Amino acid sequence: MRDILHKTTGILQGRGKVVTLREHAEEKECTTDVRKNFIYLASEVQGEEKQSVPQVHIKKSFDSVSRDEKFCFRVKGFFYVNHSRRLMKVDYCHTLRIKLHWNSISSTPKKTVTMA
């Protein structure tokens, strides 16, 4: 069985938006929860500052006792847009969270891959 929820909300008197996607799936070998969040916050600025590289954070964990596997990926940054002859800075944060619960020991992954 698979359930999907999509939700869009405005924040801070119309200055921002949050888009949320949630998916829950139950299969024979595992239960999966996937959450995706996209947060945007706009503010008016007088001039551009130096564009920096987006911050990327990745976390992964596996608990062999409870057979839970978790993965989190987050990107933060900003960009500029012109809106009605005004310069706007848009801060963003994109998050992907995946949680897997393996129902039996035989269906759990044998080996995880480590990225260097």
Question: Region 23-29: what's the mean pLDDT?
Answer: 88
pLDDT digits (tens, 9 = 90+) for 57-101: 999 988 888 888 999 999 999 999 988 888 999 999 999 999 998
CA distance 57 to 98: 14
Q: Spell out the residues 6+ positions from residue 40 whose beta carbon is closer than 8 angstroms to its own.
A: 16, 17, 18, 90, 91, 92
Pick from 112, 42, 37: nearest CA to 70: 112
Strand partners, 24: 3, 33
Q: Assign 115 a pLDDT band (cuts: 50, 70, 90).
A: low
Q: What is the mean pLDDT of the chain?
A: 85
User: Edge-to-edge strands of the sheet including 16-26?
Assistant: 2-11, 16-26, 30-44, 86-102, 68-83, 55-63
